[in-house]
Structure 1
């Protein structure tokens, strides 16, 4: 035998020791622990949606492991305590402000997380929405590390034709990917607001006469009407986040405070829900850009919206 293949007694003992240690590690399961992926952060995303835009965004940000929670459902259950590694909120801005339900929710919410982010969707003009949310959330004791906006299809029926809106390329996938990258990297940043945007918001508030503490909280029976085209399908009774619609023996009846999210009017298959004309000319006056055009996010089903907003169960 060649002397090149000979090993010393010391080397033999080292190899035997290494083999014994390797076997012990494998049998104990330590080997599998060291080779598995690093534990993923737990991410909760709370969302409010009327036509599916924010639900779609929440899904993209949540990924495969994120937990998505509907704010209307949390309010219905009286659940306001949440704990995770990361907590996000996604909502549509109405007149550059959060929906009333979102505003009231954040006042009561106790969000325990090392990283909190907010994504605010809008269709045409965001103005100082970021600063408004920062002020509201901080006053509620919920400071957000990251606040950004995302332009999407504008579903504000009084001013925009839905058929024209869906034709516009607003670069949603590209912008959403940038936001996703920011959040996955736990970027701490607020989208800047210009003085011109602040002035635009103030001008809007003066023209509209809206109460900044209430926003678009309207009375549903004063804003909408149900025509004879109604077939009593009951969809409006499921998609309204405030449960303002009721299917009775005499047809659909409505009452209660309305978020003006348009979930009812946008999702009515017969277009039987219409704006009621304002008798005194106050805002909103009941006009509509295209009464024959309706919108729901193409990635979100009607059943998705029912499950998100249903207040019956």
Structure 2
């Protein structure tokens, strides 16, 4: 295959970045932790040049901040912060190059430099744990690359499992779907909502999973489906799409692991920042929230996911690599978002003065937790945290403990991607 100017440019970016990181490794032992953030942001420049996605930069910039909260003592982290930087940047560049050789080089460069720095540092308990996680992840990731993760036939038919409660993820997936169809692929949308009855027939030769981030991971009903009911992939290529109101942290990694265990070959991922859809955080000046909502999603993120769809359909990978490292936040997410704790923590209440007994919530709820008592809804059992009853109640009469008040209801910007309560198991229209 003939090399283009773009290929040479990406090679030069990788070479310059490696030289930059090698130069810093000489000084790494003398650097104060306060300079880490300056160094890290400097290393984000090639990511901006190659991906042109601010969500990707935001995600990677959050890494040192998250671990800083875990270990307030600078000496505790040791070489772990530097290995985190090296592997994140070099793997991101090589993934964009779509080069197996470049990716393997980046992996072993990161491993070698990390082990070398380990001998020159005294690492505390937290730093040692983080370092062990990074080294194990790099070793596991390198084995997948060596075994040919990027090698797959261009898919002609794609099954897309869409989990979208407020319309945000539906809008993001729509951009991917349109681009994939424009590039010759047939896309079949399977709308995930009523998880107990969800049993899609996946006839395509590729899978795309689209979901909102909940508790720094996929929502627990979708996670349960992936573990218990998703059929084996038998080596089919897969791609991840997800939306978040802030940093997605480990959502991509959790989904990647689950699909990998099911036999899918996960090629890449894409995510974008979307408006908050929880009424608690929307209390206050309405114009302020309208302004914040108007800023998202970023135009660059929509263009990026369209390009990722084109590359995925053509058999060239696409999207972001899986270099978002495990953080303690995912443990908190599993503790706060699961079917056992939800039945205790997340109780839904009805404001009787506002309720008109329209039974919207009874028809909409994906887990059928509402029952009618004397004509009025009452919530029992497990909540899926889709916020449909709170966000879309016609009279704004629903309240969820800890998460919402009787304030301003969430009005979706893309209502066409919300499942209608009268036909919640039927997919919405994804035609142009």
Q: What is the TM-score normalised by the length of structure 2? A: 0.52
Maintained 8 Å contact 1:96/1:128: yes
1:188-199 alignment, distance < 5 Å: 188-194=318-324, 198-199=326-327
SS of 1:241's equivalent in the other structure is: coil
Q: Does 1:210 align with 2:335?
A: yes
Q: Does 1:124 align with 2:246?
A: yes
Maintained 8 Å contact 1:45/1:88: yes
Aligned length: 256
Give 1:112 shift: 6.0
SS of 1:136's equivalent in the other structure is: helix
SS of 1:292's equivalent in the other structure is: coil
Give 1:216 shift: 8.4
Aligned-pair Cα RMSD in Å: 3.3
- Relative to 1, partners in 2 of residues 1:190 and 1:217: Cα closer, same or farther, differing over 3 Å? farther
What residue number does 2:115 align with?
Answer: none
What residue number does 1:87 align with?
Answer: 207
Q: Does 1:70 align with 2:191?
A: yes
Greater share of strand: 1
1:77-104 deviations in whole A, cap 9, x for unaligned? Answer: 5x25412133211101111111111111
- Relative to 1, partners in 2 of residues 1:243 and 1:114: Cα closer, same or farther, differing over 3 Å? same
SS of 1:270's equivalent in the other structure is: coil
Q: Which runs of 5+ in 2 are unaligned?
A: 1-153, 427-432
2-side partners of 1:180 and 1:220: how far apart? Answer: 41
Rg larger for: 1
2-side partners of 1:100 and 1:204: how far apart? Answer: 12
Q: Does 1:266 align with 2:387?
A: no
1-side partners of 2:173 and 2:194: how far apart? Answer: 15
Once superposed, which parts of structure 1, at least 4 consecutive aligned residues long, lie more than 6 Å away? none
Maintained 8 Å contact 2:206/2:238: yes
SS of 1:185's equivalent in the other structure is: helix
Give 1:145 shift: 1.5
Q: Does 1:138 align with 2:247?
A: no
Q: What is the TM-score normalised by the length of structure 1? A: 0.70
- Relative to 1, partners in 2 of residues 1:221 and 1:129: Cα closer, same or farther, differing over 3 Å? closer
Q: Which runs of 5+ in 1 are unaligned?
A: 1-38, 277-285
1:124-179 deviations in whole A, cap 9, x for unaligned? Answer: 12122222221222233334212222211121333454944442202444312211
What residue number does 2:291 align with?
Answer: 167
What residue number does 2:230 align with?
Answer: 109
- Relative to 1, partners in 2 of residues 1:145 and 1:265: Cα closer, same or farther, differing over 3 Å? same
**Aligned match for 1:180, one of 285, 303, 306:** 306
2-side partners of 1:70 and 1:308: how far apart? Answer: 11
1-side partners of 2:212 and 2:177: how far apart? Answer: 17
What residue number does 2:343 align with?
Answer: 219
Maintained 8 Å contact 1:98/1:133: yes
Give 1:183 shift: 1.7
- Relative to 1, partners in 2 of residues 1:287 and 1:239: Cα closer, same or farther, differing over 3 Å? closer
Maintained 8 Å contact 2:343/2:382: yes
SS of 2:159's equivalent in the other structure is: strand
- Relative to 1, partners in 2 of residues 1:89 and 1:307: Cα closer, same or farther, differing over 3 Å? farther
- Relative to 1, partners in 2 of residues 1:238 and 1:56: Cα closer, same or farther, differing over 3 Å? farther
